[in-house]
Amino acid sequence: MSKENTLDEHLLIQKYFSDIGSAYLAERNVELSVGDDAAVLNLNPDTQYINSIDTSIEDIHFLNSISPRDIAYRSCAIALSDLAACGANPSWYSIALTFPKADHLWLEDFASGLNDFSDEYKIPLVGGDTTKGKLSITVQVMGEVEKGKALLRSGAKENDLIYVSGVIGDAFLQLKELQKSQNQDTGFDAYLHPKAQIALGLELIDIASSAIDISDGLIQDLNLICKSSDVGADAHLSMIPTSVENKTLELINSGDDYQICFTASEDKSAKVNNISERLGVPITEIGKITNTKELTLFDHEGNKMDLESGYSHF
């Protein structure tokens, strides 16, 4: 559901929006603008603030059959995932909610999903806007990170190992089940209640050389690390963690995985394993950064796979 309906967002944003008002970045204390998971802002001498905004639309980003409570929680967790990939500690969020009619039961249930989210990440809702229209939720999140410590896409170096958190493709598999089933009670957490990997992002500070949220698809997002870091990558399909045996390109690049792909030098591998055990979050090595400036995915027989077809376009 998600891929064929999303824009090739990275290219669009780069082409049309990356330089708007860039003359004012320095005087407005903006350290990093359009192009990473989030913006980095210098608002006091010791701390950098990380800002991100994400829209979830009915029938594109979530099934219209899921409960308002799940819609609210999911929309917020998705937005927070960009902060996790920056190693930020969440501070607060605001939402712009567009909905077709003021149904009080619906709003009450939606608000309870926001409460779940606030309680899970211990952050308040600080503001919002409500408008009438087709259901759509835009969530803005702000977090903070010690100055200079934010995890960016741009730091990967040759020979760094490539890791991914969690299990890839579960949200995609669960969405397919949900589209067939009326019963949403159990077994759909990857789709209905995605977790932003905040704790992991915080632990990766001073360890990861680069990081990205892989919600647009693991391969596509790893490619953005390569482009931002001016490196290449060799990744192996067989090493990518999935819950089913048939690791197709469609599955591992399906998006909707609110996990972190990151790189770290080989001498950090014991620390990475230690973090995985401590947090109880699977972290799997899937390949290595190269100096080729090209991302290559090898299949089970060691042959290069054709990646073009796995990319999303408008």
How many C-beta atoms lie closer than 10 Å to residue 6's C-beta? 17
From candidates 65, 273, 282, 314, binder to its own copies by CB under 8 A: 314
Beta strands in the chain (DSSP E): 30-32, 39-42, 47-57, 89-99, 125-132, 136-146, 161-165, 210-213, 232-236, 260-264, 283-290, 295-298
From candidates 1, 3, 38, 255, binder to its own copies by CB under 8 A: 38
Stretch that binds its own copies, among 25-33, 145-153, 224-232, 252-260 (CB under 8 A): 25-33
* Residue number with CB closer to its own copies (95 or 261): 95
Q: 210 near 153, Cβ under 8 Å?
A: yes
Nearest approach in angstroms of CB 216 to its own copies is 11
Report if residue 279 touches its own copies, rule: CB under 8 A. no
From candidates 5, 238, 269, 292, binder to its own copies by CB under 8 A: 5
* Residue number with CB closer to its own copies (55 or 290): 55
Which residue's entry shows tokens 């482009």? 227
* Residue number with CB closer to its own copies (95 or 211): 95
How many C-beta atoms lie closer than 10 Å to residue 111's C-beta? 14
From candidates 14, 67, 115, 228, binder to its own copies by CB under 8 A: 115
Report if residue 63 touches its own copies, rule: CB under 8 A. no
From candidates 64, 105, 132, 309, binder to its own copies by CB under 8 A: 132
* Residue number with CB closer to its own copies (147 or 271): 147
Between 196 and 235, how does the x/- string for binding to its own copies read (CB under 8 A)?
----------------------------------------
Distance of CA 191 to the CA centre of its chain: 13
Report if residue 278 touches its own copies, rule: CB under 8 A. no
Instruction: Report 84-113 residues binding its own copies (CB under 8 A).
Output: 91-92, 94-96, 98, 101-102, 107-108, 110-111
Rounded to whole angstroms, the Cα distance separating 14 from 240 reads 29
What does the chain come to in residues? 314
Pairing of strands 232-236, 295-298: parallel
> What single string gives the DSSP state of each residue in 148-209?
T----STT--TT-EEEEES-TTHHHHHHHHHHH-S--SSS-HHHHSPPP-HHHHHHTTTT-S
Stretch that binds its own copies, among 122-130, 157-165, 223-231, 274-282 (CB under 8 A): 122-130
Residue 122: partners with Cβ closer than 8 Å, 6 or more residues away: 90
Report if residue 292 touches its own copies, rule: CB under 8 A. no
From candidates 22, 238, 243, 248, binder to its own copies by CB under 8 A: 22
